[in-house]
Amino acid sequence: MNFEGKLSVQEILQTQHFADAKVIAGEAGIHRLIRWVHVLEVTSIQNLLHGNELILSTGVGWKEDHNSFYSLVQQSINANAAGLCIELGTYISKIPQKIIDLANSYDFPIIVFFKKVKFIDITQEIHSLLIKKHYQILEDLEEYSSNLNQLLLSSNPHKKILEFLHDYLKVTVFYISNQGEIQVIPKKTPIEQEKIFQALQREEVTSSLHSAHQSVQALDHTFADLFIVSERDEITEFDSLILDRSAIALAQSLLRELYIEEQRKTEEGEWVRTWLAGKNSEEQIHKYLLEIDPNLRPNGCTVLLCKAENLNKVTSEFNYFKLYTRSIFERKG
């Protein structure tokens, strides 16, 4: 799976090895996520980071060279590192004010240790926490999928899946069908709904609006688009995986509805064949048509005849074939 468990800087500050550490800059950024821990003692790091690393350093690479230190912090910020932890005392005695100001301007956490620490113990503890977080994500996904399966067995699963997605992630859910029908959970005012809808169409991502999208597909055809929108937090990889599983469940629900509908149409087709064979009375014909549509005023019809081979297949397979064929015709109106 292409996802990783992540910890926030705030979470690692609660661990035993950070009990005596202090955040001296960028405290507003302690919500930043940590993907890995990296020990760095060099000043040129632009090609050494992938993003979200928590950097550990003693300062031996720059010591009292404040310009190199400033450059290191700027490179860390540019590389989207999670934060910088520095051991004071051996090679560096204090953090210059201009570096504190730089970190504060980008909400980049700088954490200091006032006594010697074992980086190997810190990395081991954080990596263990990351692995536990990874397995917790797997368990949460499995539980979520199990709940979706239960919803698929209930009545009106479509609406329940959308509500469950909203309740689970605490985000706004947009479901837009190919026919233009829009479902929003929770309900928004028309103005709020239109504002978000326009942003989704323009694929806008702002500091106050984050979104993710997944198509609801079945039979090689997209039937709807599913969006989650957060007006507070960024959409995480875990959120996207939850969205993906929800879209699959909605596709399964839709496919079941289409299959049931196709069975109904098959029964109707059988009735038409008995009609054409002259086996139904005029009274039976009028009664049946009125049950289908009380306002029906038939004035003609169009018949499409197809020659097919090997029709002695399982009925369910033939129903899926008709379902697929009908989806093609409906796309063409």
pLDDT digits (tens, 9 = 90+) for 76-127: 999 999 999 999 988 888 899 999 999 999 999 999 998 888 889 899 988 8
CB 173 within 8 A of CB 228: yes
Global pTM value? 0.59
CB 111 within 8 A of CB 85: yes
Return d(Cα 289, Cα 294) in angstroms, integer.
Answer: 7
Considering the domain 7-126, what is its CATH architecture? 3-Layer(aba) Sandwich (3.40)
The answer regarding whether domain 154-301 maps to CATH 3.30.450.40 reads: yes
Kindly report the average pLDDT of the chain as a whole number.
84
Q: Bridge partners of 224?
A: 177, 216
Looking at the chain, which residues constitute the CATH 3.40.1390.20 domain(s)?
7-126
pLDDT given for residue 205 in this prediction: 52
End-to-end CA distance of the chain: 40
Looking at the chain, which residues constitute the CATH 3.30.450.40 domain(s)?
154-301
Structure tokens at 298: 């038939």
Q: Which tens digits make up the pLDDT trace of 39-48?
A: 988 888 877 8
